[in-house]
Amino acid sequence: MSNCFLFDNDGTLVDSEYLCNVGLVLMFRRHGIELGADELVIRFRGWKLASLLSILEEEHEIKLSANFVKDYRKIVSELFDNELKPVEGVIDVLESLKGPKAVVSSGPMHKIKQALDLCGLSKYFGDNLFSSYEVGIWKPDPGIYLHAAKEMGYSPDRCIVIDDGPVGVKAGCEAGMKTYFFNRFNEECDSAGVVSFRRMAELPELVGT
C-alpha cells in the first residue's frame, strides 16, 4: 500500500505567506500601525487568523472593526490574482510522488481553491481538500491531520505530512505521522523525528521515491 501525502498549503505548495502578510500590513496601516511582512511570516506561519489578530490587537492596543477580516480577505485575493506563484520546484515534486495527495490547511476553503487554481496545482489533489474552517480544528491540534487521514482512508502511520510552519509540524508529529518540515528559514525544531529540508526539490529523495 502506498503512502498518503498530506500537504500544507500556504508556504508549502503556494508561495503565499508573504502576500498574506502584506495584506495584514496594508490593513494595519489604515490604523496608523506599521508592521513588517517578513517578521509576520516568521512569527505567525500556519496560525489561525483570529488568534494572530487577537495578539496584534492586544500588542497595539486597538480594536479591529467587524469588517476587518472581510476587507483583509479581499486584499489578499487581489494580491493572489496578481502575484501568486507555486513554491519553486513543487510541481516536479507532485509529479514524482506516487500515492494519493491531499491539502490540509488552516485557511478557508475558497482561499485554498483559489490558490491551487491560480498555480495550476488543483489537478494533483482533486476534492482532497481539508480546511480548518470546515473541520473546526486548527493546527497545532493534530485533529486536523487525523481527520484528513481518516477521510483519505489511511492510518496515521501510512501518512506523510509536509508543512512549512512550526504549528503544522507539531500537529503532524502529534498525529503520529512521519513529518517533513519545509524549513526555508533554517529554524530550530524540537519535535522528535521530524525531517527538516530547505529546498522542495529535496523531498522525493527524502521520502524514498
pLDDT digits (tens, 9 = 90+) for 56-101: 999 999 999 999 999 999 999 999 999 999 999 999 999 999 999 9
Q: Are residues 74 and 134 in the same domain?
A: no
Q: Which helix (H) or strand (E) holds 75?
A: helix 68-83
Domain count, the chain: 2
Whole-prediction pTM = 0.91
Contacts of 181 (CB under 8 A, 6+ apart): 163, 164, 169, 189, 191, 194, 195, 196, 197
Shortest CA distance to 45 belongs to which of 19, 6, 74, 83? 19
Give the whole-angstrom CA distance, residue 60 versus residue 29: 12
**Residue 188: per-residue pLDDT:** 85
pLDDT (average), residues 151-156? 98
Asked whether residue 113 carries a pLDDT value surpassing 70, the answer given is yes
Q: Are residues 78 and 117 in the same domain?
A: no
Rounded CA-CA distance 209/116 in Å is 24
- Indicate the residue among 83, 101, 136 that finishes a domain: 83
List the catalytic residues.
8
Residue owning grid cell 498525529? 175
Domain housing 51: 17-83
